[in-house]
Amino acid sequence: MPLILFLIGIPMVALGRVRFGSFARSGQVVRAAGVLLMLPFAASLLFSGLYWTISGNWTVESRNSFIQLLGWVQLLLQVLAMFCAWWLMRKSPLSDESQPLPMAGFLRQWMERNENVKRATPSPTASRESPARSNPGSSFPSVMNTRQAAAYLQVPEQTILDLITNGELIAARINHRYTIARSVLDEYRNNQASDR
């Protein structure tokens, strides 16, 4: 059984995505779940090495008792690993763009900070523009991911994913992540305003 979990965990770690019927997840959470599934096999190798190292002068009964104890510990580890992996993937969003790795998060914060400094520095042409011509949405890119689109429309990211799933927003799917044109979001916002 640990070998089966190990073999299931390898493509999860390598590809970073998983699909079982209608259940699909991608990103770092899937990789973490794959590592969790691979741990019982590593533990079984460690336990077998431990057994062969310390069981040299034991009686047959003590060896059998120790093997039985190791079997129960391995079973507990397998169940725990499967439950933790399932819980991680079940609680994660469809795409974890909003949950980067810690190092990537650090780099993203550093880049955003530098970008904010560039935005705060007025350009020579900005002083000539009239306030009426400035666009409040100009800080958003012309093509956005779901997190950016949620911030642009000021709604939760799950609402964006639901709108895409229901066909109310047109989005492109690239590597299990959605990208949405700002013009599509503007059109959706205008339609919502006109419906009120």
User: From CA 7, how far away is CA 37, in angstroms rounded?
Assistant: 9
Q: Which of 91, 107, 130 is the last residue in one of the domains?
A: 91
Residues 76, 153, single domain; the answer is no
Q: Residue 98 gets which letter from DSSP?
A: T
Domain boundary among 36, 63, 91: 91
Domain edge (last residue) among 56, 91, 126: 91
Q: How far apart are CA 21 and CA 95, in angstroms?
A: 17
Flag whether pLDDT at 18 surpasses 70: yes
pLDDT band at 48 (very low <50, low <70, confident <90, very high): confident
Tell me the residue length of the chain. Answer: 196
Confidence tier at 96 by pLDDT (50, 70, 90) = very low
Residue 194: domain span: 138-196
In terms of pTM, does the model score above 0.75? no
- The DSSP element (H or E) to which 46 belongs, if any, is helix 28-54
DSSP category for residue 95: B
pLDDT digits (tens, 9 = 90+) for 112-171: 665 655 555 555 554 444 444 445 556 888 888 888 999 999 999 888 988 888 888 888
pLDDT band (50, 70, 90) for residue 111: low
Rounded CA gap, 152 and 168, in Å? 16
Per-residue pLDDT tens for 163-172? 888 888 888 8
> Is there a domain that residue 116 lies in?
no
CATH code, domain with 195: 1.10.1660
Report the C-alpha gap between 58 and 154 in whole angstroms: 68
